[in-house]
Structure 1
Amino acid sequence: MKKATSLSELGITDDISKAFFRPIQSAAPPSPSKRRTKVSVIGAGNVGMAIAQTILTQDLVDELALVDAKPDKLRGEMLDLQHAAAFLPRTRIFADTDYAITASSDLCIITAGARQIPGESRLDLLQRNLDLFRIIVPPLAKYSPEALLLVVSNPVDVLTYIAWKLSGFPPNRVIGSGTNLDSSRFRFLLADHLEVNAQDVQAYMVGEHGDSSVALWSSISVGGVPVLGSLERHQIEYEEGVLEKIRKAVVESAYEVIQLKGYTSWAIGYSVASLARSLLRDQRRIHPVSLLAKGFYGIDEEKEVFLSLPAQLGRGGVLGVASVHLTEEEAKRLRCSADTLWEIQQKLGI
């Protein structure tokens, strides 16, 4: 891909820098231990560019590489971001259709994916995404063998499993964005109703990303106060049906955005940027992300499925899974999702 126009191409030599800066005598070379942080985003669509833009504005990386199959669209997005250099932290931005540009990435974020065709079955869609991931994942693993893989493409749980299989990476280094955004929507809905800041609400959605996600009601707290326990102490009645309505409202909120504007982008951009921050800066924060869930909450050890569970994230990827209490009904629904995903994965032939 053609690079952005440089001053040297316009006839200005590199010697011009000498007119602006006087060299320091006997200066020591840069420290060999100095390291630059690099993130690659695969897919320059609405989601990929929202993620890239949010990562840039939050000053999370030194280098950002963009990869997409459409060279003109890709170059346009790269130039658009580069032209904002005066308003952003200093980040080198590259773009190419060649995966070699992702070499030595610390984190590779996959947003590319095939969209469902009307009348197409879920299995057919997955098969097309499997074919696409066969093109994407092996080069990423080749050029950045020590990287973390973060899958955002949907259906995220199965595609994270596919990325794990194709990369050959250990499971702790392959993560799906999972229900991190679902949980944010959940927290917003509760915070809006209670008129508090969403950052003071602790609430998790776990399990399969989508319609069958599980709301962990017993884990909800506001300012450290358990919500259900507080309701019971104040003898405020609530019904299971009401709780289920709230869960469905969280799930349907994404569909509402898609119906109104055609796609979701900004929320997933902030969600993935928060995951990138926790991973790259070794913050060890807890996020509900899609991870290899076999052996947790009664999920069969033989079923290699990825589901969202509250996980501690750091530079090594998934560092551990929080021991969150699940009711028997919640655990049952989690195992049901695992069974469904495992059945689908068995048909992919990977």
Structure 2
Amino acid sequence: VTAGARQKPGQTRLDLLKTNLKILDQIIPQLVKYSPDMILVMVSNPCDILTHGAWVISGLPKERVIATGTHLDTARFRYFIGQRLGVAPSSVQGYIIGEHGDSSVAVWSSVNVGGIRFADLLKCVGSEGDTDQWGELHKKVVKAAYEVIAGKGYTNWAIGLTTASVVSTILDNKKEVVTVSTSAKDRQGIENDIFLSLPVVLGANGVVSYINLQLSESEQQNLCKSAEAIDKAIKSICG
């Protein structure tokens, strides 16, 4: 589902919420009527909150309702790390989780290149004590979409490729580990009944299983803050 109001320059994804929820109210019931066994993939922003809304409206099992989420953020994260190190992004492992937006979390403790963990070499990587400023790469990831929107008014190529990648994983039953927005309640220390991005195994029936990351204390705190931000936005709409 890509239908939604266009994100304007300077506008956050959360600003789009009320308008796009109204659009879902019109679209989702018809999708369920004609495709009751579908895997619902949300692309419209703010995708985490809209995915929760789509799940509520559709009545589908949670494992069959996802969003592209931080799949693109993760790809950009790996690209920027590879660019700085002079290696191919395919040789970099690491995840961006949480909200697809300003409160996303870079899981530096998961980053490795060629099997070598960053955290073993750089104890303060991504933290305030990081003198090499690796944390700036996460800021670049967050700013990337805003820069594209400021330049041409919309995003299309990167999110298009991301959506194709997610859909291909489902259609071909690849069972790849991808970061997509999924039901997060009781996972990774999250108590809120929300959707946000976590690494999952994705296949023909949707989410097959979840990858339990060993987060650092600061990463766990930031993930919970991201969850609270999403939960607050949902409650502001639902009352």
In the superposition, the TM-score normalised over structure 2's length comes to 0.90
The Cα shift of 1:304 comes to: 1.4
**Cα gap change, 1:226 to 1:122, in 2 (>3 Å):** closer
CA–CA distance in 1 between the matches of 2:72 and 2:13? Answer: 22
- Please say if 1:324 is aligned against 2:197: no
Spell out the pairing of 1:179-258 with structure 2 (5 A cutoff).
179-231=70-122, 239=130, 242-258=133-149
* Residue identity opposite 2:233 in structure 1: I
Corresponding residue of 1:304: 193
Q: Name the SS of the counterpart of 2:84 in structure 1.
A: helix
How big is each residue's C-alpha offset from its partner over 1:223-279, in whole Å with a ceiling of 9 and x where there is no partner? 2221232446xxxxx717813222111111222222223322111111111111111
Measure the CA separation in 2 of the matches of 1:228 and 1:118.
36
Counterparts of 1:119 and 1:197, CA distance in 2: 32
Determine the structure 1 residue equivalent to 2:126: none
1:292 is matched by which residue type in structure 2? Answer: S
**C-alpha RMSD of matched pairs (Å):** 2.2
- Pick one of 30, 36, 60 that aligns with 1:169: 60
Residue 252 of structure 1 aligns to a residue in which SS?
helix
Look up the equivalent residue of 1:309 and give its one-letter code.
Answer: L
1:1-80 maps to which residues of 2 (within 5 A)? none
1:141-165 deviation per Cα after TM superposition (whole angstroms, max 9, x unaligned): 1100001000000001000001101
Distance 1:142 1:240 in 2: 55
C-alpha deviation, 1:121, in angstroms:
9.2
Query: Quick one: distance in 1 between partners of 2:87 and 2:7?
Result: 38
C-alpha contact 2:72 2:162 (8 A) present in aligned 1:
yes
Q: Which residue of 1 aligns with 2:45?
A: 154
**SS of structure 1 residue aligned to 2:177:** strand
Q: Which has the larger radius of gyration?
A: 1
Give the 3-state SS of the residue equivalent to 2:163 in structure 1: helix
Paired residue for 2:31, among 125, 140, 156?
140
Are positions 1:259 and 2:155 aligned together?
A: no
TM-superposed deviation, 1:117: 6.9
- CA distance 1:203–1:312, change in 2 (3 Å): same
Number of the residue aligned with 1:283? 174
Match of 2:232 in 1: 343
Distance 2:69 2:86 in 1: 27
Counterpart Cα distance in 1 of 2:85 and 2:12: 41
Q: Structure 1: which 5+ residue stretches go unaligned?
A: 1-109, 233-237
Q: Which residue of 1 aligns with 2:19?
A: 128
Distance 1:258 1:128, change over 3 A: closer
Provide the rounded CA distance (Å) in 2 between the counterparts of 1:230 and 1:189.
18
- When residues 201 and 267 of structure 1 are mapped into structure 2, their CA distance, relative to the original with a 3 A threshold, is same
State the TM-score, normalized to the length of structure 1.
Answer: 0.63
- Looking at structure 2, the residues matched to 123 and 279 of structure 1 have their Cα atoms a distance apart, in angstroms, of 28
Structure with more contact order per residue of length (Cα contacts < 8 Å, sep ≥ 6): 2
Matched to 1:267, the amino acid is: A
- Extract unaligned runs of 5+ from structure 2: 124-128
Distance 1:187 1:119, change over 3 A: closer
Q: 1:173 to 1:116 in 2, by over 3 A?
A: same
